[in-house]
Amino acid sequence: MPAMYEILIAPGGGGLFAGTRGNYYELADGQQIDVQTTPVWCRRCGDWRHGESIEPVAEIDRKLAELDDPNSFAYQSCFDNLFHEMFGKGEEFRQEQITRLRRRRRWREDRVSPPKCIECGSADIVVLPINEKVPNPAGPGTVEIRIRGMCSTDFNEWHFTPEGERIPRDTKPTHWHHPAMGDEFNKPGGAVEWLRRTGRLKEPGGESSGE
């Protein structure tokens, strides 16, 4: 779940800034990894935005080493939870995390470009530290970013090349039905009927009826 940030500008105020999720890099082999983000000031957007957070390879290696160390918090938290107590899936969970980190490591090793604003793709961004008062890039005074908790936001379903270039797509695959379909999806046969009626269903041997 993404973080809920607070942007504190002095003097002047500030406001809450919800984190983002559902942003993915698409690797050459078709696998996806999460885009990690942090609040930034984007000079091109002229606004607070989400920027890519790109950690050093050493940071990923540190996390991998922790998952191999039975004394570490990361290792223990795989097994010290209800999920493991009920289903015995702790080891599976640990392996999944290792696989994910190794994939991220491969992406990180190849990544050349500096972090970008995920909204506009510009690298002309100011990455703000967390819990530290710094000169305000947006105007006079200072700014401090704090984490206020977590928030439940929609999944963007934005896709990026490994270098952080947005791949244009107009679909939102997390919608489990077409956004225009509404309640009809829930009626028996409703989805197929709706697709047929609106000309979205291409049936073998037949022409779609069109809208």
Binding residue (CB under 5 A) for Zn ion from 33, 35, 40, 42? 42
First to last CA, the chain: 39
40 lines the binding site for Zn ion (CB under 5 A): no
45 lines the binding site for Zn ion (CB under 5 A): yes
Q: Which is nearer to Zn ion, 45 or 151 (CB)?
A: 45
Q: Is the dihedral of CA 170, 172, 178, 182 positive or negative?
A: negative
Q: In sequence order, what are the residues at sequence separation of 6 or more whose Cβ sits closer than 8 angstroms to the Cβ of residue 90?
A: 78, 79, 81, 83, 84
Q: Which is nearer to Zn ion, 8 or 120 (CB)?
A: 120
By CB under 5 A, what part of segment 88-147 binds Zn ion? 117, 119-120, 122
In contact, 55 and 187? CB cutoff 8 Å: no
66 lines the binding site for Zn ion (CB under 5 A): no
Shortest Å distance, C-beta 45 to Zn ion: 3
3-class secondary structure, 53? coil
Q: Which is nearer to Zn ion, 72 or 122 (CB)?
A: 122
Shortest Å distance, C-beta 163 to Zn ion: 16
- CA-to-CA distance for 169 and 188, rounded, in angstroms? 30
Binding stretches for Zn ion (CB under 5 A): 42, 44-45, 49, 117, 119-120, 122
